[in-house]
Structure formats: structure tokens, C-alpha cells
Amino acid sequence: MEQTEIAREQGAPTASILAEQAWEGKVRKVFSWIVSVYLCVVFGAFPLYFHNYYYDILVSKYQFYWLSTVAMLASCLIAAIVFACMDLKRFGGAHVRRFLGAFRLTELKKQPFAYKALAVFWALALISTVLSDYVYESFWGNEGRFSGLFLITLYVLGTIVISKYGRMRKWYLDVFLASSVLVCLFGITDYFQMDLLGWKKGVSNEQGNLFVSTLGNINTYTAFVALTMAVACGCFVSERKVGRRIWYYLVSALAFFALITGQSDNAYLSLGMLFAVMPLFLFTTWRGIADYGILAATFMTVIKVVDTVNKVYADQVIGLGGVFGVLVRYRYLEGVVVLFWILAGILCVWKRKMEQTNPESKLGRWIWRGWCAVLILGCLAVAFVFYDANLGGHAERYSALSQYLVFDDDWGTNRGYCWRIGWQSYRELPFLHQLFGFGPDTYGILTWDFRQDALDRYGVFYESAHNEYFQYLVTMGPLALASYLAFLGSACVRMCRKWKECAWILAPVLAVLCYGAQAVVNINLPIATPIMWAMLAIGLTLTREKAEQAE
């Protein structure tokens, strides 16, 4: 501790040093306890909370989150004031001076890049709000999805307080997964049209089938389940205790099932991210490769199970369309499942053999490099297909997948139209608004001139861009988008650097990446998004603790 080191340098007596150490430990314990209670509420209670079923699900979730976060911040502030008064009395305000000294410019420059990017992001959100023609709406986000400056501020402050003053405990993730199991089970029963919660009484099937579990819209549900899947898989591949591995494996399988039956094509983005990124961590050991094989085989098995369920209970389930509808109807699916399990079995046997005969052996980099080459070639192939289908003039080559590859107004359930009117409206803004945006969460106001046209064409109007990154671009400006991406990227890199020291940090990393993949076509809502920010915060908490231990 810096304070006790100073005390020693000043020749303070041993008793004084011990008293100061006890004081510091007490302060840390109190703040850690406040953060622990808050994380239990956000991870355990928040996903299950509701007020008036689906009718006010967004409002009730938003109110629950902001009240919980404000309560946590207020508790920390009260504790800080109490400790400051006690410090003035016992230590002459030495700790308060040290704390305030941390805000000097020279000290702030020492902060990790992730925190600097986060501060810039918040500052740009503030500037965007102040310069907006709709300051009130920009602050509260009441004309959108409540993701205005107020909520952004809570995300930022919550992340800083948790990561700087919290203590990371793996059971936080278990609390989240336990809550998620209930969310997934309710969602799966909704797929069977059982309506165990009784939330869909008096609602038509066409409308009711778009709302799932305790979260609302199927896209929001899918984003949340993607976080669950990522955390469960990350914990499974990093855990060594058999009992806990079984727990994480079962949750992973349940999340796969819930994600597929969630009926949203957004899920394939997070699934693609998960299975593309995991090998970058796992393909350095035979154990990692075997675990990856088990998860891949499990996912294929779940697809087959869903196919069987759809056939046996055809008159009870909602049914699948889109990408997952194609997968479950694949004629050779059963053979693919068997092949995957054979490969997984071979990998497990080989892993066990290597552990017994040559436990010190290390896997060469050739498999890892091979996977990197596959990823690069895959990205290039996807880029070429999109180019060829849209700019190359060969859309007819991809007629079977045109709804996914050819960009027009109808692409992505009319997201093409939503993005087009947003870009057109943004281009007509004055330069200052182009630089700093129209104001946080004011997309509906920005595209107001197209509201009647949207209603005439699709029967809906758009309050959100249905693309988190594009939303930040047009409502907060390119600088805010760049700082947000810099924060996410640098935070993930910072966590990845500690992966060798603490393998289960992979769970929050995968959660952020899977959320980020879906954010390309999803709305930033105070339902799944707070979980992503909390995952980021606990990941950064762990990196801080590892850095402190190294010192």
C-alpha cells in the first residue's frame, strides 16, 4: 500500500503502520461489500424482475437498473464521506489527500488506456447532449430507449466503481448463470407455447411469439442468452473441478438450446463469434482443443434435438425459420453430429494420453496459426461474397441467401431501410451535429421526417437504428463511436493479457465479444446492455487485482 510505504519512509512506529494497514483493509472491505451486493442484484434479480408483464417491460427494467445503480453509487458516496471524516480525525486527512491526489493530471495520465477511452466517450456524450437541439430528450433518452446521457453516465460510473473498488469473485458468474437458467427455461417453455408465466393471455400468437421469457422482444432475449452462453462456455473451458465443469457444461447446452429456439437470426452472429474466437485461446493445449471439440459437438447435438422436438411436437412448438430453420432441416445433420462426437472423443482420448505420458509437452503453434489463417480466409471470403452480391452485380448467384447477402431496404427485417433513412438524415445535419451527433438516443427525432413513410411501408416507425454502432455514429458522432470501440477493444485486450494468470477471465471477454457481434443488428436496451457493462467491469476488476498482486 502506498500509504504504509510512506509511513515507513517517515519512520512511523510499527503500531502506526499496522493501524494504517487495518484501516485500509476495512475501507476496501466496505466498498467491496457494497459492490458485491450490487452485482448480486444486477446478475441475480435484474434479469427476472418485471412489473406489468410485457406491457412495461422496458420501463420497469430501466427503473430497476438505474435505481439499483444510483443506490450503489450513493452507498459508496456515503461510505466515502464517513471514512473521510474518520480519516481527518485519526490520520489528519492523509488518506483523503492521497485520494484527491490521484485526480492530478500527472496521475490520471498513468491510468490504463481503457479508462482514458471511457472518459473520452462520456465527455463526448456530454458534449453531444449540450449541443443537441433536444437537450432534455438527449439526457433522458425518453424519445428512444432510455439510453441517453443519464444511463450512459450510470454505465460509466458503475464500471469505474466496480473495477476500481470491487473484489472479483467467481461466484458472481455463478449467480448470473443461476438466474440465466430460469430465463432460458422460461424462454424454452415459451417456444412450446406453454406460457407458464401467463404473460400472453389475450394476446394473438403472431404478436405474443415475438416476446420471450422475462426479457421481452426475441432480439433482446437472444442478446441476453448470448451473454449466458459466452459466460458458461468460458467458465467450462477454464474450470478444472469436475463438479463445476458439469455445471458449466449443462448451462452451455441449455443456452445453446435457448438461443436456437429464441427464433432470432441475430443469434448466429454471437455463435459465430464464440466459435471463431475460442480457438485463439484454446488451440495452444490439447486440453483446450478437446474442450472446444466437446462444445462444438454439443452445439450440433442441440441442433439435432431441436429438429427432433420440432417433428415430435409439431403442433405445440412455434417452429423455426431463417438460418436455424435451414440447419435443423439439413438432411445429413445426424451424420454430422456423429462425426463431431467421434472427433471430440478422439481429441479427449489423445488429450488424456498426452497428460499421462508426457504432461510437460507443449502443443506447437502450428494449429493456432492454422486457425488464424482459416479466420483470415473466412473473413476475406465473406467480404468478397458481400461485395459480389451488392457491388459486383452478381446478386443472382446468391438467390437462396439473398435476404442475408443483398443489402436493400428490406434487408434484415427492414433494417436496410432503417439505416438508409438514418444515414440520409445524418448527412443533412450541420457540420457540428455531424461531428458530435444529434444527441444520445434521439434517432427517432433525427428520422422524424421519414416516420409517415415508414408507417405506410412497414407499419412501424424507428426510434432506434437497430445497430448500436451506427446509432452512436449518428446520435453522438464519429469521435464518440471511435472512443467507444477503443474502450471495448482496449478493455478486452487488457483482460486477455491476464488470461494465462486467470483462465476464467475468458468468460467476461467472450461475453463482451458475443454481445458486440449482435450489436451490429441489435438495439442498445437497458435490459441486456447493463449485463455487458457489468461483465466488462468485473473483467477489469480482475486485471487490477492481478496487477496489484504482481506489485
Q: What is the DSSP letter of 466?
A: S
pTM for the model: 0.92
Tell me how many degrees the CA angle 224-230-233 measures, rounded to the nearest 5. 140
Looking at residue 342, what is its pLDDT? 95
Looking at residue 8, what is its pLDDT? 46
pLDDT single digits (tens) 289-312: 999 999 999 999 999 999 899 889
* Rounded distance between C-alpha atoms, residue 105 and residue 119, angstroms: 13
**Among 462, 390, 388, which residue's Cα sits nearest to residue 423?**
462
pLDDT single digits (tens) 528-545: 999 999 999 999 999 998
pLDDT single digits (tens) 124-133: 999 999 999 9
Percent of the chain residues past pLDDT 90, beyond the cut: 64
Q: What is the DSSP string of 224-239?
A: HHHHHHHHHHHHHHH-
pLDDT of 4 higher than 90 = no
Looking at residue 101, what is its pLDDT? 82
User: Which one is predicted more confidently, 355 or 211?
Assistant: 211
Do the beta carbons of residue 509 and residue 496 sit within 8 Å? yes
Q: What's the chain's average pLDDT?
A: 90
Looking at residue 1, what is its pLDDT? 42
C-alpha grid cell for residue 302? 442441440
Q: What is the DSSP string of 21-80?
A: HHHHHHHHHHHHHHHHHHHHIIIIIGGG--SSTTTTHHHHHHHHHHHHHHHHHHHHHHHH
